[in-house]
Amino acid sequence: MSELGTSNSRPLVAGIDSSTQSCKVLVCDADDGTVLRQGQAPHPDGTSCDPGAWWDALQQAIDLAGGLDDVDALAVSGQQHGMVCLDAEGRVIRDAILWNDTRSARAARDLTDELGAKTWADATGSVPVASYTVTKLRWLADNEPENVARIAAICLPHDWLTWRISGATSLESLATDRSEASGTGYYDARAGEYRYDLLAHALRIDEEAARRIVLPRVLGPNESAGQATALGLPEAVVGPGCGDNAGAALGLGVGPGDTWLSLGTSGVVGAVSDGSWHDETGTVSGFADATGRFLPLQVTLNGAPILDRVRKLLGVDYDGFDELALSAPSGAEGVVLLPFFGGERTPNLPEATASLTGMTSANTTPANLARAAVEGMLCLLGACIDRAASHGQEIHRILIVGGGSRSRAVREIAPAVLGRPVDVPPAGEYVALGAARQAAWTLSGDDVPPAWVVGDMVRFDAPHDPTVMERYEERFAAAFGER
């Protein structure tokens, strides 16, 4: 991928990443993925949100990207799992409850206890955790039954945005793709069908009533979801869209043996696989990807915001934070951050809180606190990488993407903590790029996505310091027990 300031006469496509913290829009050359223009606008903070805010941020991001009048196709990639419930007129019933909202932790436990972890893993690829839509629906049934009675359709953030963009009004026009459906907790990606029995169980209604609820039609990887009529682009084709992690995989063009680490609001350790995953321990989410394959993921509730929290406490900017972290010795002289500021999903500790441990009057310095934040975030993800390897996932190389990968300290410290080199692709918005690549694929109608090439990776390597992970695990076990 390269970036140019000029346009050309070749077809153009747009990729939209409607993610947790912001909406990003890229306009790209459909043939080779060259990024021509881009824009970004913030989303409101918090773990629930009026979907109208995503629409407003999309308009701002499109304006900042210089408009989309010249694009031939577009697609939306979005934060996964958020529960958007619509009434019979297509109105949003209540604020969407997002993936990072843990109010449904109890519902997740109940659903797992009621049917058993194996049943869920076999049926949907994953065992319920508070992030998944199915648990938010159970929470709704238990806390707002009056809203359950009003539900005519259930969709996810990207499905809703795609629907709005198309200008369609009938609920039957709602569309999604396998990657998103696989994160609901009521879709069997192996069979390619919704599990209305599980939806009914979560909502405490009978299966016949569940079948009357409209769920988005699951489109093929390059099947059109309509035209971008509501953006004033009645000729522009809209791709099916996908979940943000499937978007990142498509944007990066990852293949067998590649593991990628995404440091966004969430932390993600992901890979693509030809076969479906059904981990009944609940650690690996057995999602689908955006190309017809599968996407085993481990996702943490805590990602780059770990660094933000400590950086703001120290009163420094990104560069100042990196300098502090890199000036401290490996292991931060014994200071260890257990970074569960927002509870945690992997490991499944929704009620956990963060703690700084091992502080003495000698080692409590800004440099050690910054280093402990970087190391704590990397240890959380390093444990996921170790688990992926122990589940038999081949790891030939590790790529790092997402906002947190812009940190020099993260790039330089990662190999020491993880014990493996890490490859950093050119700075870019890979989720939005994946959506753009999908749009180009939809436009072409070809059997395979266009062969866009990601630019040269920069490899970071450093001597492994296993004591960092060992000490983190010791402190973790002391706080939460062995896992």
Ligand X SMILES: O=C(CO)[C@@H](O)[C@H](O)COP(=O)(O)O
- Burial (0-12, 13-18, 19+ Cβ within 10 Å), 396: exposed
Amino acid making up residue 471:
R
Among 19, 77, 182, 259, binds ligand X (CB under 6 A): 19
Q: Segment 263-322, which members bind ligand X (CB under 6 A)?
A: 264-266, 268, 285, 297, 299, 303
The distance of closest approach from Cβ of residue 209 to ligand X in the complex, given in angstroms and rounded to an integer, is: 28
Cβ-based neighbours of 218, under 8 Å, separated by 6 or more: 175, 176, 177, 178, 181, 187, 192, 194
Question: Which segments are annotated as binding site for substrate?
Answer: 80-81
Cα angle 245, 213, 95 (rounded to 5 degrees) comes to 60
Burial track 170-185 (b if 16+ CB lie within 10 A, e otherwise): ebebbbbbbbbbbbbb
Encoded one letter per residue, x for contact with ligand X by CB under 6 A and - for no contact, window 350-379 reads ------------------------------
Complex with ligand ADP: residue 133 or 405, whichever CB lies closer: 405
The SS3 of residue 323 is: helix
The pair of three-digit structure tokens given for residue 436, joined into one six-digit string: 């753009």
Encoded one letter per residue, x for contact with ligand X by CB under 6 A and - for no contact, window 178-217 reads -----x----------------------------------
The alpha carbon dihedral of 370, 373, 375, 381 has a sign of: negative
| 438 near ligand X (CB under 6 A) | no
The distance of closest approach from Cβ of residue 44 to ligand ADP in the complex, given in angstroms and rounded to an integer, is: 12
Complex with ligand ADP: residue 184 or 265, whichever CB lies closer: 265
The distance of closest approach from Cβ of residue 24 to ligand ADP in the complex, given in angstroms and rounded to an integer, is: 7
Complex with ligand ADP: residue 226 or 247, whichever CB lies closer: 247
Cβ-based neighbours of 345, under 8 Å, separated by 6 or more: 129, 130, 131, 299, 300, 301
Rounded Cα gap, residues 342 and 110, in angstroms: 21
Q: What separation, in Å, do the N-terminal and C-terminal C-alpha atoms of the chain show?
A: 41
Query: Is 244 labeled as catalytic in the residue annotation?
Result: yes
Interacting residue ranges for ligand ADP, rule: CB under 6 A: 19-22, 264-265, 304-305, 307-308, 318, 402-404, 406-407
Complex with ligand X: residue 29 or 244, whichever CB lies closer: 244
Question: Which segments are annotated as binding site?
Answer: 80-81
- Burial (0-12, 13-18, 19+ Cβ within 10 Å), 467: exposed
| 346 near ligand X (CB under 6 A) | no
CA nearest to 76, candidates 55, 99, 101, 90: 55
The pair of three-digit structure tokens given for residue 32, joined into one six-digit string: 């080779």
Which of ligand X, ligand ADP, none interacts with 101 (beta carbon under 5 to 8 A by kind)?
none
The alpha carbon dihedral of 436, 439, 444, 448 has a sign of: positive
The distance of closest approach from Cβ of residue 295 to ligand X in the complex, given in angstroms and rounded to an integer, is: 10
Which of ligand X, ligand ADP, none interacts with 307 (beta carbon under 5 to 8 A by kind)?
ligand ADP
Catalytic one of 72, 177, 244, 289 = 244
The distance of closest approach from Cβ of residue 98 to ligand X in the complex, given in angstroms and rounded to an integer, is: 8
The residues binding ligand X (CB under 6 A) are 19-20, 79-81, 99, 131, 183, 243-245, 264-266, 268, 285, 297, 299, 303
Catalytic residue numbers read 244
